[in-house]
Amino acid sequence: MRDGVVAGSFRDPSGFVFERSGQIYRQVNRRYQDSYDLLLSCGLYEALVSRGLIVHHEEVDLAPPDPAIAYRVLRPERIPFISYPYEWSFSQLRDAALLTLEVQEIALAHGMSLHDASAYNVQFRGAKPVLIDTLSFERIRKDEPWIAYGQFCRHFLAPLALMAYRDVRLGSLLRDHIDGIPLDLAALLLPLRARMKPSLLLHLHAHARHQAGTATTKRSSRSFSATAFQGLIESLRTAVKRLQPATSKTQWSSYYSEADHYSDETLRHKQALVEAAIDYVAPETVWDLGANTGRFARLAAKRDISAICFDSDHGSVEESYRRAVELDEHNITSLICDLTNPSPSLGWAHKERLSLIDRGPADLVLALALIHHLAIGNNVPLGDIACFLHLISRYLFIEFVPKTDPKVAVLLSVRDDIFEDYTIAGFENAFAHWFDQVETKELADSQRTLHLMRSRRPRGSEAVGF
C-alpha cells in the first residue's frame, strides 16, 4: 500500500484517497482525466455542489503520492466522522439510496452517469447524506444500461426491503456482505408478500433468478433506450420510497420522554454538568456512547461541535435521525453501535472499513448511564471498560451508577451479584490506570456521580491491556 493511501479506495483505477499531515486528499489519475474534465465542464459538479449532494473540493498544488499516473490532486471537504451502511438506521439507508438516485438523474441530464452505486460512497454531514466520491462519474454510454444497477440493488434495495418486510436489525447483514446483500439471499429471506410489490418482484426476485442461471454469456444486441434508463431510475425510486420500517419505537427510544427514574431537577442538573464538561474541554468532536435519542449530544451540537450519537437500539437511532432531519440540525449524526460488539475492521487486509477504535479518538466521549449496562448487564470488568474508553477518547465524561440506584437494582434482581468490585472505589481505581481525574460531581437528587477525566497515556504508546 502506498504511503498514506486510505485503504478503502484502492479498488478504484480512477484515483485514490490519501492522508497527509492530518488532511485528506484525493489523487485523480490520468486515466480519469477526460471524465474529470467533463464533470467540471458540463456543469454537473456545480449542479451537485449547489444542491449539497456531493462534497465540494478544491484543486491543490501538492506533490501526488503516485506522480507517474497523477492528473490532479484535490482537497475535498472533510467529513467529521466516516460511518458505514451497517451502522445506519432504516431512514438513513433509504435517504442515502434516494440521494444516489437523485445524483444519477442529474448526472443523466448532464450526459454523465454514475459508474458505481456503492453505499460506502455516501456519508452523513450531520443528518444530511452526501456523495463523497467525485470520481464516480463517466460519460454516458449511449444505448447501454446502468452499469451500477446490480450494485444499487445489493447495497440499497435488498437491505431496505429486508428491514421493511422482516426486521430492521437485518441491516447488520451489510457487515457480513460488504459489497451488498446477495440478491438470491435477499429473495430467500423476504416473505411472500414482498413479491406482491411489482418493483420488488422485478428488481429483487426476478433479478436474483436471472443471476442464478437464466442468463446467457453473450451480450444482447438489443440496446437500452434513454426512456428505459429513465424508467429504471423512476422504478427504483418508487421501490425505495414505498418501503417503510416495520416498527421503530422501542423501549429505549422512549427512555427519556417516558422517564420515571429522573426527576426534572436531576435531568436539569445532569444537563448543566454535561454543558460544563463540554465548555471545559472545548472539543471539535464529541461521541455520545449509549446516546439513546441524543438528548445530551445535542448540547454539543448546539455549540457547533460535531456530535456523533451511538446506540445499539435501532429505534433510538432512527428517532434521533428523523428529529435531526425535521429540525434541520447540522452537527448531529446518529449511528447504530453495540459497544459490546462494535464495528470491526473489515474488507481486504482488514483495512477497507475501519473499526470504531481506528476512527477515534474523539476529543470528548460522553458515557452517561452506560457503565452499569456494560459492567453488570454484560459482565465486562471495569478495567476493560476503562481501557476501551481510553482508546477512543482524549477526555471522558462518565456517569457512575452505584448498586443502590434503582436501575442497577433492576439489573441485579434477575441475577446473582457477582460484581464485588462494582463500587465507586473500584470504579475510580480501574479508571485511574488510564485517566487523570479532572473533576467529580454528585448528581442532584440521586446517588450517581459524574466524572470528567483526561486520557493519561499517549494513545497507542503501550500494549493494550485486554
Phi, psi of 440 (to 5 degrees): -125, 135
Nearer to other proteins, 182 or 381 (CB): 182
Question: Minimum Å distance from CB 251 to other proteins?
Answer: 39
Whole-angstrom CA distances from 433 to 44, 75, 439 are 54, 40, 16
Question: Minimum Å distance from CB 190 to other proteins?
Answer: 18
Nearer to other proteins, 150 or 383 (CB): 150
Helix, strand, coil shares of the chain, percent, nearest 5, are: 40, 20, 40
3-state secondary structure at position 71: strand
Nearer to other proteins, 217 or 413 (CB): 217
Whole-angstrom CA distances from 432 to 59, 276, 315, 340, 453 are 47, 22, 35, 22, 9
Question: Minimum Å distance from CB 206 to other proteins?
Answer: 8
Nearer to other proteins, 226 or 327 (CB): 226
* C-alpha cell belonging to residue 122: 455516501
Question: Minimum Å distance from CB 137 to other proteins?
Answer: 17
Phi, psi of 42 (to 5 degrees): -85, -5
Q: CA-to-CA distance for 355 and 333, rounded, in angstroms?
A: 17
Nearer to other proteins, 102 or 428 (CB): 102
Q: CA-to-CA distance for 454 and 341, rounded, in angstroms?
A: 25
| Sheet of 15-20, strand order | 15-20, 23-29, 70-76, 57-59
Binding site for other proteins (CB under 8 A): 145-147, 149-151, 153-154, 182-183, 202, 206-207, 210-211, 213, 215-217, 219-220, 222-225, 227-232, 234-235
Question: Minimum Å distance from CB 210 to other proteins?
Answer: 4
Query: Which residue type sits at 357?
Result: I
Q: Which of 57, 63, 131, 135 is nearest to 99 (CA)?
A: 131
Phi, psi of 294 (to 5 degrees): 85, 25
Question: Minimum Å distance from CB 14 to other proteins?
Answer: 17
Question: Minimum Å distance from CB 238 to other proteins?
Answer: 9
Question: Minimum Å distance from CB 141 to other proteins?
Answer: 11
Nearer to other proteins, 215 or 425 (CB): 215
Nearer to other proteins, 148 or 369 (CB): 148
Nearer to other proteins, 214 or 461 (CB): 214
Q: CA-to-CA distance for 131 and 123, rounded, in angstroms?
A: 6
Count Cβ neighbours within 10 Å for each residue of 418-436 and write b for 16 or more, e otherwise: ebeebeeebbbebbeebbe
Query: Which residue type sits at 423?
Result: T
Is there a contact between 361 and 392 (Cβ–Cβ < 8 Å)? yes
Question: Minimum Å distance from CB 380 to other proteins?
Answer: 40
Question: Minimum Å distance from CB 172 to other proteins?
Answer: 21
Nearer to other proteins, 209 or 457 (CB): 209
Q: CA-to-CA distance for 63 and 67, rounded, in angstroms?
A: 7
Nearest-10 Cα torsion for 359, 364, 366, 367: 70
Q: CA-to-CA distance for 302 and 329, rounded, in angstroms?
A: 8
Nearer to other proteins, 21 or 227 (CB): 227
